[in-house]
Structure 1
């Protein structure tokens, strides 16, 4: 792989072929499951499993604050310095080096670091949504770490997270954060119509159906980025339950296709990266697939959507002393 070419990709959207880092991706996937399960063990339950996810940061992926006793701790994958940082509200901290090592080694090192901080925890130490599900403590199969590839993947997430959050600003109804689900290793954002569903999907490998029942208890329009399905990964969008006419609603502009097997729309990442306007290309995909769900599903669009620029009519035209020209004023 030509990493120099990938690192110098225009507009900040890096090139990263899935085939060039598949072994590293699968190893890091298991590492994120371990960290995500630690958050799940201590965080209070939130609807649709929002309490288990990770978030894109300026340096990698992190849990955000995890409550523990009368304090808190957090865990962050630093993909710049390639260390896992564990920080406690009592001022102490530990770290684990991110390098080529097995999942079993990583699992042991993380729990040793937690114990040194006085954090006692236990998790169901078997991965979800993969087959086979090798217990973390016995997983010597996944042991790859290509630091440059991981950093490029993080940059893919940074770019996608930025556009997803801009898209999120158009919706005033119930919606998820933009967050990273470690079960399926995807960055996701979900909007809700406000109506409950009568059926839920099932069949995810090594994942109980009641988990999916909680995730899909209400009608959704969901989208995100997955580092698979396509030469460089793909953005996806789906509606659950899928309304009649949804699959035919969006045209094939920009390379968008509908997968009947997976029941979702896909836009190859390379189509976004190589477009004259990558942000605009991804935004069109997000808006058009949401419109497909909202129109065919008969959502209350007038009550759920909002103008993200509505505040501009109230901003002062005169800048306060010392404020940079062009900066927003409340």
Structure 2
């Protein structure tokens, strides 16, 4: 079935941050709890890629975690609004996503992992959040707006597909498309292949050794936030590390994109993409033009790193 441009545009949901800020904040902390469980049991992969979550057709998944007799996979099911734990060859167990405190979510999650034979020991305090409250002590009741969560999931699915397409145009080192629960951002990162200067660190509640390992090599990174933090509304971002001279003055696309000096990166409001007649094309123009600015100004060897966008069933030419 072929979808027209207008049909594709209509499928991008409205996700105004202010309307679901409290639910989003709770979901952020819930993902940190699940993500920290994955982190505690998965061998380290460069740039913390072993700790992330992935968008799928129902929500967010950890993929299979090497814990318990056969492994454990945890999923946020945003269609039925449940947290699900599965082990290979066994039935799944779950609990409802509903209004609750972070402490209650933490308790339910620990019980869930115990039920499937896993080891629910992990670091008990949020990262990348100033003045964090330990999960077990965060007893304030939080709302759960199921409709807003479903729209957020719909946006993640659509954005992931565009990020995946962008990812195929690079034969150098490139990250998976994954969600970092520390800042609740969906991201994809390209690498020049050269070492980077040591990162100064200083990310709130994140050990400097982790930040420095994450930025051990030069990057051009792009992603999506649902809102909050340095940018209040849902937005796409793109930055380079190290930041090359002139990057902040580079001309990028589309016209709605701008450089935020406080954040140190280019920003494209989600609403500008959603409202476009062809959202995918607009988002790709942002990803490509900001990467080009980083690579050109940073002196990347583009001829050896880039390739045509991938097509189904067509191998890369040698």
TM-score range for the pair, normalised by the shorter chain length: over 0.9
The residue that corresponds to 2:170 in the other structure is 171
Q: Residues 9 and 15 of structure 1 are in contact (CA less than 8 Å); yes or no, is this contact kept in structure 2?
A: no
**Structure 1 unpaired stretches of 5+:** 1-7, 316-330
Q: Cα gap change, 1:272/1:314 in structure 2, threshold over 3 Å: closer, same or farther? A: closer
Residues of 2 paired with 1:238 and 1:51: CA distance? 22
Shift of 1:118: 1.6
Q: Cα gap change, 1:199/1:133 in structure 2, threshold over 3 Å: closer, same or farther? A: same
In the alignment, is residue 268 of structure 1 matched against residue 269 of structure 2? yes
Residues of 2 paired with 1:125 and 1:220: CA distance? 30
Residues of 2 paired with 1:263 and 1:231: CA distance? 15
Q: Residues 99 and 141 of structure 2 are in contact (CA less than 8 Å); yes or no, is this contact kept in structure 1?
A: no
SS in 2 for 1:71: coil
Shift of 1:67: 1.0
Q: Residues 254 and 282 of structure 2 are in contact (CA less than 8 Å); yes or no, is this contact kept in structure 1?
A: no
Which structure is higher in RCO with an 8 Å CA cutoff and minimum separation 6? 2
Q: Residues 85 and 95 of structure 1 are in contact (CA less than 8 Å); yes or no, is this contact kept in structure 2?
A: yes
In the alignment, is residue 194 of structure 1 matched against residue 190 of structure 2? no
Written as runs of structure 1 = structure 2, the 5 A alignment for 1:236-247 is 236-247=237-248
Q: Cα gap change, 1:108/1:195 in structure 2, threshold over 3 Å: closer, same or farther? A: same
1:163-205 per-position Cα deviation (integer Å, ceiling 9, x unaligned):
0000001001101000000000100000000001122042211
Q: CA RMSD in A?
A: 1.9
The residue that corresponds to 1:51 in the other structure is 50
1:98-129 per-position Cα deviation (integer Å, ceiling 9, x unaligned):
00011100100011111122212311100000
Written as runs of structure 1 = structure 2, the 5 A alignment for 1:3-42 is 10-42=9-41
Quick check: which has more Rg, 1 or 2? Answer: 1
1:13-39 per-position Cα deviation (integer Å, ceiling 9, x unaligned):
101110000000000000000000010
Shift of 1:70: 4.9
Calculate the TM-score normalised by the size of structure 2.
0.92
Deviates more, 1:268-277 or 1:133-142: 133-142
Deviates more, 1:144-153 or 1:116-125: 116-125
Residues of 2 paired with 1:207 and 1:231: CA distance? 22
SS in 2 for 1:180: strand
Calculate the TM-score normalised by the size of structure 1.
0.89
The residue that corresponds to 1:98 in the other structure is 97
Q: Across the two proteins, how many residue pairs are aligned to each other?
A: 308
The residue that corresponds to 2:127 in the other structure is 128
**Structure 2 unpaired stretches of 5+:** 1-6
Shift of 1:141: 2.6
